[in-house]
Structure 1
């Protein structure tokens, strides 16, 4: 898979926006079928809301502004936290299923000139069970299928597995960051010498060294993990993953997932199952998500929650790379062409058809300009006769009532 870097110099045309809107429409339709309702959050948020919460967006990546009162604000760098805060402030005990399609703003050294992206995501609050986890992951799989991707995979891991092993060490913050980086990149060559210089129990070293290789067929990874269990907490984590996988098997989705116990999300507020989605031709996740039951402890109210977000721009790019979103000529329902003396009749029928939901373009016969579009029907108001034609037939009509009836019947 190739690395994806957004080209800010690329001209975005009308067709690109049409493809993007189709993708967003598909995502929204699928989210709604799982009982989710659309919401939004403010573009400007309080800097303190993000800075006071540990394990969230890197503060250096936030785009900060100062309002007229001197208060520091940030352009929304993440949607999960403001949605979680909103739910906490409402102090509701009912479960809520919310989805959003919003822009997020971050600046990073990796892509200095790219500061804005669109995320389409879901957040399920108030429910904590492996059945819900399986359903949320299944919704992500279902959405990939809706978009038409043939080759995609969801990698599933658990935030607690690595954390449990790390708790049995005395790693400094820098050492932990280095170890996470080595595991994420599956750098097997450097992990062993790195761990050998640390004062860690040998069996813990062995377990940490094995984590990057615990990737692939879920049942195989489960069997590997059983040999690494060191306490009851790790046993519960493994059982959690087993039950989630059993739920996905019940859905018939087992071929769409792999397990990856070396999966470590940069958002440290995740506490349970974590997952990310990949498609061909894009060398980074187009979807990321997981369970974050402990995030509410830093807000007003502790609420179990799980969610994910698609990167819409990456999805569109992947579809274009794979030839799934070819920029063809737009299609209209009807094009009406007319001579000047029949302009009144032509524009009247155009109004009636549009009023009935038809997509209509009008075009004088005498004009040298023509719309570069495809159409299902063409109506011609010529000097001697009026014609309604399609790819299969051509019919003569006398007045607007007759052609209107013809189109209604054909539609």
Structure 2
């Protein structure tokens, strides 16, 4: 029989989990202050939900199962799609929702973990500079909550590059190669690749410039104006400029850069797209964008924008910058008791827990001592409370609780 092996690819210790839980709680608290309500979706989704949408999750990356009726299901590979469908079908009028859910995908090489936790938001509302900037500000605000000081939100637009591609009429196979070159900012190979395509010189020059349109937003906008090919591209630049002006009113301009070479693998994005990077983490800790046409499959126009944090990447960044905090503090109290005082000691522990204290109990003959903020001893002829470098006796549970509450109020 093959020996069962524990998967050590993820940190699963108690302290690691507490660190993770603390991180998620910080995200949830910030999402809530912007008016978002938590929801969830099913872990198992119909394969047809994703297979019927082009340009979303790669079908080969989905983890498929077959239920008892023979229907093909998938472990949830994406959260935005089922939330959008749920919102459209239920005709919900609540525009702001957030989630903390696991997504499941497998890469062809199988070298990455199949399960990842994402924490994200979805805002169902009109495409305005104010709504887009508010979502970006929420992402910035959350990263600041976590203690990061050196991070950037890269902002682009799904339509800017698409306008050039459509005008150039690039074949799908050639487009796939071009996208890879732009994503890697491979300036050296882009030029000869484009020279082999039947594209006008002006259009070729414009496409070559895309990877270079990165940096200070105002500077990027000015340079991008030089390669505008039509009114749609002009409107896109104006919309990005409007968003940046709102972010300046939020006093958040130092945290953003423009990247018109930003390309997201999820082709359902229709407008502004963005991703967040933290120092020393090579992958984006958050990705998002506007997807105004995703509800069309349910015959409902439903403008929306959202983003998702990758929890594991955030944890890596927190550890690297010594910002990770777990709940490794000692318990509030440990109670030791002799056999004759077991009943009164356990009753006291119950009452203290009712008051919200974390309490551990042990018989007096237990080996070793547990470190705690307070130690209570029920001995044969006395009852002692030790803490804050002092030891005092007490007569009963009411007096013990009163003394602890007085200490709590002093703090």
Pick the TM interval, shorter chain. Answer: over 0.9
CA RMSD, 1 decimal = 1.7
1:386 has 2:383 as partner: yes
Tell me the residue number matched to 2:366: 367
Answer with 109-118 or 198-207: which moved more: 109-118
**C-alpha displacement of 1:109:** 2.7
How do residues 5-404 of structure 1 correspond to structure 2 at under 5 angstroms?
8-9=8-9, 12-92=12-92, 94=93, 96-112=95-111, 114-325=113-324, 329-371=328-370, 374-404=371-401
Map Cα deviations across residues 268-321 of structure 1 (whole Å, 9 max, x no partner): 010110000111222101100000102222333120000001111221222223
Query: What SS class does the counterpart of residue 168 from structure 1 fall into?
Result: helix
Distance in 2 separating the partners of 1:113 and 1:216: 31
**C-alpha displacement of 1:85:** 0.8
Answer with 68-77 or 303-312: which moved more: 68-77
Distance in 1 separating the partners of 2:87 and 2:74: 20
Conserved 8 A contact 2:130-2:246: yes
Distance in 2 separating the partners of 1:329 and 1:135: 35
Query: What SS class does the counterpart of residue 86 from structure 1 fall into?
Result: helix
Tell me the residue number matched to 1:3: none
Query: What SS class does the counterpart of residue 35 from structure 1 fall into?
Result: coil
Conserved 8 A contact 2:125-2:131: no
**C-alpha displacement of 1:168:** 1.0
Map Cα deviations across residues 215-246 of structure 1 (whole Å, 9 max, x no partner): 11111111111212221111110011001111
Distance in 2 separating the partners of 1:71 and 1:143: 40
Conserved 8 A contact 2:60-2:108: no
TM-score normalized with structure 2 length: 0.93
**C-alpha displacement of 1:342:** 2.5
Distance in 1 separating the partners of 2:42 and 2:325: 34
Query: What SS class does the counterpart of residue 236 from structure 1 fall into?
Result: helix
**C-alpha displacement of 1:166:** 0.7
- Which 5+ residue runs of structure 2 have no aligned equivalent? 1-6
Matched positions, count? 402
Query: What SS class does the counterpart of residue 21 from structure 1 fall into?
Result: helix
Map Cα deviations across residues 138-174 of structure 1 (whole Å, 9 max, x no partner): 0011111111222211111010110011111121111
Conserved 8 A contact 1:288-1:310: yes
Conserved 8 A contact 1:89-1:300: no
Conserved 8 A contact 2:220-2:258: yes
Q: Stretches of 4+ moved more than 4 A in 1? A: none
Query: What SS class does the counterpart of residue 237 from structure 1 fall into?
Result: helix
- Which 5+ residue runs of structure 1 have no aligned equivalent? 1-6
Conserved 8 A contact 2:18-2:326: no
**C-alpha displacement of 1:387:** 2.4
Query: What SS class does the counterpart of residue 126 from structure 1 fall into?
Result: coil
